[in-house]
Amino acid sequence: MNTMTKIILSAVMVFTMTIANAQSKKEQIENLTFSLDSLNQVVLSERQNFSITLDSLNQLLRENQHDFELEMDRSIVTTKNLNTQLMRLNSMNDSLNTQLIAKNQKIDSLTLQIGELLEEIVALSSPQIDRENDWLMIESNLEVRQKDVYHVKQWLKVVVKPQEFDQKSRSEFENIFTPNCYSYIEDAADFYWGYPGSIEEDELKSKWHSTFDLKYAKFGHAFENGNCGWATMNLRNIDFLGVLNGGDWFKLTITGGCGENDYSQTLIRIVKVIEKNGSLKITNFLSLQDG
């Protein structure tokens, strides 16, 4: 094979390989182009799917937001309704409290009236006389009955005791009696002592004869003999006499004297005790024996 032939064969081979390589690159480009198209198609499809999904999510969000707004509106309305109901309940509660206070006041008033009526009934059911200024009339009309007067006797044991006439004990002494009875006792004791300026007999009678028995008004002290300041005193007996004019009547036997351990003198006192508003008071007083 000559040189020219070799050259020609070589050229042919190079051309052939060049063509083959060209064809191989074309196929590669075609393959790459196909792959790129496929990828673009996938990307497009994914974009479309994402867009659909995003639209669905946005729609769902809008629906949920709408539902939330509706619920909020309902909550606001419900809250307003609850506040309105609460205000009504508070108003009703205030009204009920006002009515309750009024009813309690009415009950208290009725209870007081019932108590007063019961006192009147008790007073009417006991023996009555027009005036308590005659011991014989009082004694003959007393109703003797079985009655628990223990607490009254205990009270009399405490209050019937010597009293010094300083200001403090005077107020304590005054508290034992009703105001009218205490005023009478002061006047009667002043008349007994007869010091200058004390009450005169005419004034005493004019002032008290229609209320108290003045035949038994000669005493210098309610629960002591007036001749001296007693050094000793003993409430020997408390006898329940009976019921009259809505009160309990008692006979008090008191012994005492001027010296220590001296019980040589005896006083007899008749007292009428009433109970009102939980307090005991002596409302009538007689001295049957004054030493």
Instruction: Give residue 51's pLDDT.
Output: 79
The pLDDT tens digits along the chain (291 residues) read 566 566 656 655 655 666 555 567 677 777 777 777 777 777 778 788 877 877 777 787 777 777 767 777 777 777 777 788 778 777 777 876 787 687 677 777 766 766 666 655 555 556 788 899 999 999 999 998 889 999 999 999 999 875 555 555 677 788 999 999 999 999 999 999 988 888 999 999 999 999 999 999 988 889 988 878 788 889 999 999 999 999 999 999 999 988 888 899 999 999 999 998 889 999 999 999 987
Q: What does R_g of the chain's alpha carbons equal in angstroms?
A: 60
Taking CA 226 as the corner, what is the angle to CA 221 and CA 232, rounded to the nearest 5 degrees? 90
Q: Nearest 5°: phi and psi at 246?
A: 70, 20
Sheet containing 232-244, strands listed edge to edge, beginning at the edge strand earlier in sequence: 232-244, 247-257, 265-276, 279-290
- The pair of three-digit structure tokens given for residue 213, joined into one six-digit string: 């028995």
Structural element, H or E, at residue 155: helix 150-159
Instruction: Give residue 279's pLDDT.
Output: 93
- The pair of three-digit structure tokens given for residue 5, joined into one six-digit string: 């032939």
> What are the structural domain ranges in the chain?
1-125, 135-290
- Let me know: does 174 contact 181? Beta carbons within 8 Å: no
| Range list of H helices, 194-233 | 201-208
How far, CA to CA in Å, does 237 sit from each of 16, 54, 254, 266, 268? 163, 112, 7, 11, 10
Residue with the two structure tokens 């809505």? 246
Structural element, H or E, at residue 265: strand 265-276
Q: Model pTM?
A: 0.58
Instruction: Give residue 114's pLDDT.
Output: 65
- For 126-159, letters b (16+ CB in 10 Å) and e give beeeeebbeeeebeebbeeeeeeeeebeebbeeb
Helix axes 201-208, 179-193, angle to 10 degrees: 160
d(CA 91, CA 149): 52
269 Cβ contact partners less than 8 Å away, ≥ 6 residues apart = 160, 222, 223, 251, 252, 254, 285, 286, 287, 288
Instruction: Give residue 133's pLDDT.
Output: 94
- Let me know: does 247 contact 283? Beta carbons within 8 Å: yes
Instruction: Give residue 195's pLDDT.
Output: 86
d(CA 80, CA 73): 11
